[in-house]
Amino acid sequence: MKNIISSLFTLYSEYFGVAPEIIAPLPQGGSDRKYFRLTSAGKSAVGAYNIDIQENRTFIYLTNHFYGKGIPVPQVLGVSQDEKFYLLTDLGNASLLQYIENVDWSNAKLQILTIEKTLKLLAKVQVEGAKGLDFGKCYPKSEFDLQSIMWDFYYFKYSFLKPTGLRFNETLLDDDFSTIAEMLLQQPIKYFHYRDFQSRNVMLFNDEPYFIDYQGGRKGPLLYDVASFLYQAKANLPESVRLHLLNYYLCEVSNITEIDKELSKEVFPVFVLFRIIQTLGAYGFRGFFERRSHFLQSIPLAAKNLKLLLNNNHKLFQGIPTLRAICEAIVEKFHEPSEQHQEFSGLAIEVTSFSYKKGYPTEHPEHGGGFVFDCRGLPNPGRINSYKMLTGNDKNVILYLEEYKEIDDFFSQAYSMVQPSVQTYLSRGFKHLSVSFGCTGGQHRSVYMANRMAAALKKEGPVSVTLSHRELNKYENGKEIV
């Protein structure tokens, strides 16, 4: 940290001619970049540190390009010799997301005017910003192509679907991915594709919108960015407002370049679906793997957007039946508690089976913990050939396990620990408790114990018990899906 502070201190001093009096860290977003605000005597700037030099070069190139075209972005004030540090004009702390979050949309004329101004600038960035831009300097891809599309699909599959334990057939899912990719690539790809255009990346400086965090941009289509903006989970825009803003945006684009507005409206839901999929992949990676629990808290909002898309676009989902079923499962699993239990105010208990080979389950973001029981010391049906492809849900495996006294002893001891906590949580008004059982493969013993625990806990009063077998998404009709 001392080296970071020292380098930013030098950049600031060289530009302003005075040393900064305060160097304060700024909140970190979804990336590994670190930002600081440097101030002294009324002079303020934002310093950035990023070890990815190529990404820094791309950001600085794009910033200078857009700034030269009169597009509202920060100005680059200085870059360190090793290119890991750079200094930018300070656009303050007020993001567009903060301005529109929790707004009463029935009386939000000023907010809508600001969003319209933002979308007008987006059209300018996409169309005018692409002119004269050397897309070869974009990083890590120069254009929106099949490879970049499939990266996002696999990001979703391995960073979100797999950790959540949702069942799916990979071959059929990949077929649907290819179908969507073909639809996406039929659109003109000659514009600047911002890629992460959302209201948190728009700063309101002197009441005017300024754009930040476009370093992942490349040559690409128009509709992805407006889909990203209108369906940002945290913004939670009403559908009527989205429709108005989409029409406004398409009119603004048509003022500066020729487009087919009606065709754009027809294709728009495909881009919305793709963006939600990409976002869920990011939430999964940041939440499940990097353990940043606040990303997991946005999943129900993304599921809400999926539900709207499913309800309003039957034609789209007819051609992608496997992905449709997965989207429906996501909506069912992650819909907001207010939708799931409108009158339920008790304790929600999550019971999970898992494999120790795949790591511990992710704890609920609101409470972070619970009970984890190790079943590996129990008799293992997986060592018997006739049971290898069965699970703890199958009758033969259940009968086998219940022949052993230690199975009952283990469950009784586990239940004697969990049950008092359930009652304590209820008396204190706690809302979440997790109970997990792990074994070697997450297929036999842990599944049996999780089933038994879930059944017993349902009798404990005003509780809602959800049961998940994390590893069983790998099995379908007794065969492992690869």
Here the CATH number for the domain that contains residue 81 is 3.30.200.20
Q: What is the pLDDT of residues 281-292, one digit of tens each?
A: 999 898 878 767
d(CA 103, CA 94): 15
Ramachandran angles phi, psi of 36, nearest 5°: -140, 145
What pLDDT shows up at residue 468?
A: 85
Q: How many CB atoms lie within 10 A of CB 294?
A: 10
Domains in the chain, number: 3
Same domain, 155 and 102: yes
pLDDT confidence of residue 295: 81
The whole-angstrom separation of Cα 355 and Cα 470 is 8
Question: Which of 38, 33, 43 is CA-nearest to residue 5?
Answer: 38
Report pLDDT for 127: 98
The residue segments making up the domain with residue 448 are 342-480
Reading the block at residue 161, the tokens are 């679907």
pLDDT digits (tens, 9 = 90+) for 336-385: 544 433 444 578 888 999 999 888 886 665 555 689 999 999 999 999 99
pTM: 0.72
Q: What is the per-residue pLDDT for 366?
A: 56
Same domain, 37 and 173: no
CA 165 to chain centre: 16
The pLDDT score that the predictor gives to residue 460 is: 79
Place of tokens 């080979």: 357
Report the C-alpha gap between 123 and 1 in whole angstroms.
Answer: 39
Lookup: tokens for 457: 């806990």
Judge if 377 and 312 occupy the same domain. Answer: no
- Nearest-angstrom CA–CA distance, 280 and 322: 17
Angle in degrees, CA 32, 37, 40, rounded to 5: 160
Residues 6+ apart with CB under 8 A from 223: 187, 264, 267, 268, 271
The DSSP letter of residue 444 is S
CB proximity list for 246: less than 8 A, separation 6 or greater: 226, 230, 265, 268
In three-state secondary structure terms, 166 is coil
Is 75 in the same domain as 117?
no
Q: Are residues 76 and 121 in the same domain?
A: no
Cis peptide before 361 (omega within 30 of 0): no
Domain boundary among 89, 110, 132: 89
Pairwise CA distance, residues 125 & 312, whole Å: 30
Kindly state whether residues 107 and 175 are assigned to the same domain.
yes
- C-alpha–C-alpha distance, residues 145 and 149, integer Å: 6
Quote the pLDDT of residue 288: 79
Same structural domain for residues 161 and 33?
Answer: no
Residues in CB range of 68: below 8 A, 6 or more apart: none
Asked if residues 238 and 264 have their Cβ atoms less than 8 Å apart, the reply is: no
User: Which residue, 59, 89, 119, sits at the end of a domain?
Assistant: 89
CATH code for the domain in which residue 160 is found: 3.90.1200.10
Q: Of 89, 120, 150, which residue sits at a domain end?
A: 89
Residue 12 shares a structural domain with residue 50? yes
Give the E-state strand segments of 58-114 in sequence order.
76-79, 85-89
Q: Would you state the pLDDT for residue 42?
A: 86
Mean pLDDT, the chain cut into blocks of 10 residues (482 residues total): 90 96 85 92 94 97 97 98 97 95 90 97 98 97 96 95 88 97 96 96 96 97 98 91 97 97 96 97 86 78 93 92 95 65 64 88 65 95 91 93 94 94 85 91 95 90 84 48 29
What the block records as the tokens of 465 is: 């018990």
Beta-strand ranges (E) seen in 16-136 are 22-25, 34-40, 43-49, 76-79, 85-89
